[in-house]
Structure 1
Amino acid sequence: MAGPVEAELLISGGTVADGTGARLRRAEITVRSGRLAVLPEGARPPARRTVDASGLVVAPGFIDVHTHSDAITLIGAGAGEQAGALARAAVMQGVTTEICGNCGSSLFPALPERVAGMVPSARASFGGPVPIFTDYKGFAEAHIAVPRANHLTSLVGHGTLRAGVLGYADRPATPEELAVMCDLLDTALTQGAAGLSTGLIYTPGTYAGTEEVVALAKVAARHGKPYVTHLRDEMSRVEEALEEAVEIARRSGAALHVSHHKTAGRHAWGRTLVTLPRIASLRESGMDVTCDVYPYTAGSTMLSAMFPPWANDGGVTALTARLADPAERERMRRSIAEGVPGWENTVGNGGWDRISVAGAVRNPEVEGRTIAELAAARAVDPLDLAAELLVAERGEVTIISHSMREDDVRRVLASPFAMIGSDGVPKPGHPHPRWAGTFPRVLGHYSRDLGLMPLETAVHKMTGMAAARFGLAGRGVIAGGAHADLVVFDPATVGDGATYAEPLLPPAGIHLVVAAGHIVVAGGADTGARPGEVLTA
């Protein structure tokens, strides 16, 4: 009689955090044909390879619900010498699934005749020669053709969708244009995109009113997929912006997910004491609302977002033309000093001394220094320094903004409805360390060292909670028949290594990462295996 079928991998002797938030337990985990089996402690089934996980924790592979990694594997060598490290950083910290297309910015969809005109803005967002696709199918096929270590899925970015139909104009969509946008969104969601995202502080998304977003969110609701939003304001008007998101969710019927929830800038510090109870009360009343958060007090975005919406009318090319005009610069200076109704004014809420350059590939000597510091060294006004840098870089400048307070970050992290997302922007230069350090930082600094949450709760926020929100069936849990995406880490040593000075340093304590049943990281080193898939929600 034939003996038991040999497993490809046995992970033995480990403590299991199964992704559900349940108490830790001991079990043996096997991988066969890309699926998991969970056996009692001490079972020793035949396996081609056995990993001793004694003293280690075995968890589902982490799901990063908020990335801007849409293009990094497609750009490849175009990202320069850092390309390999940028592409590997997520999986090196245990992330087996990335959800991109956030903040209203994706690589699809668009009408064919609009694609060429979208390239300059896409380059500014993603940092290289970036393709734009007419639908999710084209996006998926391009990624399938380029081997990757972990899995990827994408939201439909409202800003990209809007630009793909009516360009970067500061005006409402006509009824006919909105109908086309709804059709393109419907097609992308039918093809498997994970939901709809907005970035209502970014152009061209900021040009859209609430009614436009409601109409699009209704399409997402019909597909049972969430409305994911970077709020229109995360600073002085954060409560008002949250209420707009709630209105959109209520009127559309879509589940609501608030991206990287924060209360940033000195006028909003401490306001999580209001926003988090508001979300909790909405959930108690039956609304399906969640959020994500990254474990840092600094954010990262494009330098162009520091300028008022009217300055970005027409896209990156139009912005750089205005920046070269002294009269237009003066108008921008007044807008920042006095504010613009409805605009999240980051500089006005913080100052140029809190904004450092993360990426400027043509002027790398400015990276890591603040706009205020650079301006003082050249004896010029900070706005003029920022304008000249944007012109020189053709709009392709990434920044880091030190705008948050630690107590607010901790409150969001500890909230039972908050999951973990890096908001990683893998672009050349000195990117935010969250791209390489988010998940080990939560496990090490916030869970183990500060005791902010139990380890099993932290793992749940990174796995099962995320999979449930984004419809990733069979992922985010360790259970019989689940997809074989795993991470094995040392709870005593796991922690982030990445810093603002050296943002791609690998984490400590990540012993093994398995994606689709293949070992992709072992002993802190990339194995070269590339089993990653493009997922459909």
Structure 2
Amino acid sequence: MPLNPTAVLHYELLLRGGEIADGTGAPLTAGDIGITGGRIRLLAPGTAATADQVVDVSGLVVTPGFIDAHTHSDETTLNGTGDEQAHAAVLQGVTVEVCGNCGDSAFPGPYPDFAAFADAHASVGRANHLASLVGHGTLRAAVVGHAARPATAAELAEMCEVLDRDFTAGAAGLSTGLIYTPGSYADTAEVTALATVAARHRKPYVTHLRDEMSRVEEALAEAVAIAQASGAPLHVSHHKTAGKYGWGGTERTLPRLERLRAEGMDLTCDVYPYTAASTALAAMLPPWAHDGGPERLLERLRDAGERARMRTAIAEGVPGWENTVGNGGWDRISVAGAARHRALQGRTIADIAEERGADALDVVAELLLAEDGDVTIISHSMREDDVQRVLRTPFAMIGSDGVPKPGLPHPRWAGTFARVLGHYARDLQLLSIQEAVRKMTGATAARFNLVGRGVVRDGAHADLVVLDPATVADRATFAEPLLTPVGIHMVLVAGEVVVRDGAVTGARPGRVLAC
């Protein structure tokens, strides 16, 4: 039945007087937004309407809630990490986090399946939403274990069955981290078989390539081959060409991806706006050192002879291994998180070794042993021109690759989205504000089948951000990585205000989304 044009509409919340970046990349438009029952109604400016709460957003821009294409926040609200870590994303406008990346998910592992994972989050509540991929490394560890060997036919069949069940339940796609064990022990055929299950469910194959450094083009070719053979859409995680032998490589990789898209391939990538990466310190060691799992790694680190082998492997390389230190050096690797050695956080391995008069590999071994293997690092491995090239690529979306762990985590967890909007869009004018918003909303929602999200339109979910385009900026640094951004006035999730004037309200309307 058509609306009565003379009726006065009533809403729970009414945003008056702002400009709207609708998530499609279209020019900004003036309009009011009414919200009722967690859904949006678009109104012409000044439309007669009343509301329980009216907010004047004149001079501000209203956007869809940001969707972080790449996080490692699977258990952040479950493991007692703390509110500062848990809320860093939503404070910069992220209303959906896509976790389970780089082959590492919370199921089947700590949680038996997607449903149990969703139930765990529902029991504690969330400020924002979460979607999760199924991590190939986690899946392989559950079925095959941590042995450096191919999966048997029976094991591969079991992995496919588990994957099929989690996709049916709502998992968003399949992720691999092919530089990390045990995922790196898999060959192309194993990953292709699993990606075929994803294709059947029309879900993407999301990959941290087997090499993002000197062999990035070869690794990219493997990812393309997996997608083409399986039929799954391909999404390349945090696309970069890192390390001194990879710098400038985006001049070759991006045209290659553009050609594939022009030929009809469903292919996208994500990127974070920094020249430093972050991962586990143990990942700096060769794959064979991890054979058998974390306990076997620690046993090897206690053995002087095994340390010598690792030292040689880093110096000379191992076929098929992305050798981060060999591509850069210990002077580019700094300690981000070491719970029992906080004084070392922020310092490079090379600096610590020099101070102690010790070999860098011995410093790494002793630190990992003292921390039971749980040490995170920051790797200063990229070049700004490569980062900017990926940022302005039309098929690249924004993902923080945030690793919300104690210590001095990478500032991308608290700063990525504000940094894109402030530094790259407004200050450098690398892209327009509406294009930046599209890359962090509509494009990401489309990739991960987040229906009714990532756009401002009638009937869409009321996940929204109200920001000041003139002042929005990141403040997080490597020294103070959790500083909240400025210019984010309000964040709504499911129609509830979860952030107001830079502070969380305590509302917890978020949930784990089925995709």
**Partner of residue 454, structure 1:** 432
The reply on whether 1:321 has 2:325 as its aligned counterpart is: no
State, as a whole percentage, how many aligned pairs show the same letter.
67
Q: Report the equivalent of 2:197.
A: 219
Partner in structure 2 of residue 145 of structure 1:
123
Give the Cα separation in 2 of the matches to 1:314 and 1:423: 27
Return the letter of the residue paired with 1:97.
V
1:245 equivalent among 223, 226, 229: 223
Instruction: Count matched residues.
Output: 511
Deviation per CA, 1:36-58, whole angstroms, max 9, x where unpaired?
00000122411011111111000
1:68 to 54, 65, 72: 72
Query: What letter is aligned with 1:95?
Result: V
Partner Cα separation in structure 2 for residue 71 and residue 374 of structure 1: 31
The code of the aligned residue for 2:238 comes to: H
Secondary structure in 2 matching 1:408: helix
- The residue number in structure 2 matching 1:170 is 148
Alignment map for 1:202-351 (pairs within 5 Å): 202-351=180-329
1:108 is matched with 107
Q: Which residue of 2 aligns with 1:10?
A: 14
Misfit runs of 4+, over 2 Å? 1-6
Match of 2:45 among 41, 45, 56: 41
Cα deviation, residue 5, structure 1: 5.3
Query: With structure 2 as the length reference, what TM-score do the two structures score?
Result: 0.98
1: CA distance, partners of 2:186 / 2:121: 30
Query: Equivalents in 2 of 1:213, 1:436: separation in Å?
Result: 33
SS of equivalent to 1:6: strand
Instruction: Within 5 Å, give how 1:117-136 maps onto structure 2.
Output: 132-136=110-114
Q: Does 1:481 align with 2:480?
A: no
Answer yes or no: is the 8 Å Cα contact 1:98–1:151 preserved in 2: yes
The question of whether the paired residues in 2 share the 8 Å contact of 1:109 and 1:185 is answered with no
Amino acid of the structure 2 residue aligned with 1:89? A
- Who is 2:91 aligned against? 92
Candidates 19, 44, 67, aligned match of 2:23 = 19
User: Hey, what's the Cα distance between the residues in 2 that align with 1:490 and 1:60?
Assistant: 14
Look up the SS of the partner of 1:446 in the other structure: helix
AA partner of residue 346 (structure 2): G
- How far the C-alpha of 1:335 sits from its partner, in A, is 0.4
Moved more, 38-47 or 424-433: 38-47
Give the secondary structure class of the aligned counterpart of 1:228: strand
Q: Please state whether the residue corresponding to 1:213 is helix, strand or coil.
A: helix
- Aligned-residue offset at 1:3: 6.0
Determine if contact 1:483/1:516 at 8 Å carries over to the other structure: yes
Taking the aligned partners of 1:270 and 1:401, their CA distance within structure 2 comes to 18
Q: Which residue of 2 aligns with 1:50?
A: 54
- SS of 1:337 mapped into structure 2: helix
Match of 1:374 in 2: 352
Match of 1:30 among 31, 34, 48: 34
Alpha-carbon distance between aligned partners in 2 of 1:363 and 1:50, rounded to the nearest angstrom: 50
CA contact (8 A) 2:9 2:48 kept: no
Q: How far apart, in 2, do the equivalents of 1:154 and 1:168 lie?
A: 23
Q: Which amino acid aligns with 2:30?
A: R
Q: Deviations over 1:45-73 (max 9, x none)?
A: 11011111111000000000100000110
Q: Which amino acid aligns with 1:223?
A: H
The 5 Å alignment of 1:518-533 reads: 518-533=496-511
1:363-442 correspondence to structure 2 within 5 Å:
363-442=341-420
Match of 1:115 in 2: none
CA distances 1:259-314 after superposition (whole Å, capped 9, x unpaired): 00000000000000000000000000000000000000000000000000000111
Q: Could you say which residue in structure 1 is the equivalent of 2:175?
A: 197
Q: Does the aligned pair in 1 maintain the 2:8–2:48 contact within 8 Å?
A: no
CA root-mean-square deviation? 1.0
Q: Which amino acid aligns with 2:156?
A: L
Give a deviation string over 1:150-192, Cα, whole Å, max 9, x none. 0001000000000010111100000000000000000000000
Write the letter of the residue equivalent to 1:40.
A
Structure 2 Cα separation of the partners of residues 515 and 4 of structure 1? 26
Q: Unaligned regions of 5+ residues in structure 2, if any?
A: none
Query: In 2, are the aligned partners of 1:291 and 1:417 still within 8 Å (CA)?
Result: yes
Secondary structure of residue in 2 paired with 1:180: helix
What are the Cα deviations for residues 478-509 of structure 1, in whole angstroms up to 9, with x where unaligned? 00000000000000000101000000000010
Which runs of 5 or more structure 1 residues have no equivalent in the other structure?
Answer: 111-131
- Separation in 2, partners of 1:375, 1:73: 36
Measure, in 2, the Cα distance between the counterparts of 1:316 and 1:356.
Answer: 21
Q: Which residue of 2 aligns with 1:157?
A: 135
Q: Is the 8 A contact 1:109 1:188 kept in 2?
A: no
Contact 2:464/2:491 (<8 A) preserved: yes
SS at 2:26's partner residue?
A: coil
Give 1:507's match in structure 2, choosing from 485, 488, 496: 485
* SS of residue matched to 2:466: strand
The alpha carbon displacement at 1:4 in A equals 4.5
1:361 counterpart = 2:339? yes
What code does the residue aligned with 2:104 have?
A: S
- Local SS of the residue matching 1:27: strand
Moved more, 323-332 or 101-110: 101-110
Question: 2:188 and 2:13 mapped to 1: Cα distance?
Answer: 51
Q: Distance in 2 between matches of 1:380 and 1:373?
A: 10
> Which of 401, 417, 421 lines up with 1:443 in the alignment?
421
Q: Which residue of 2 aligns with 1:123?
A: none
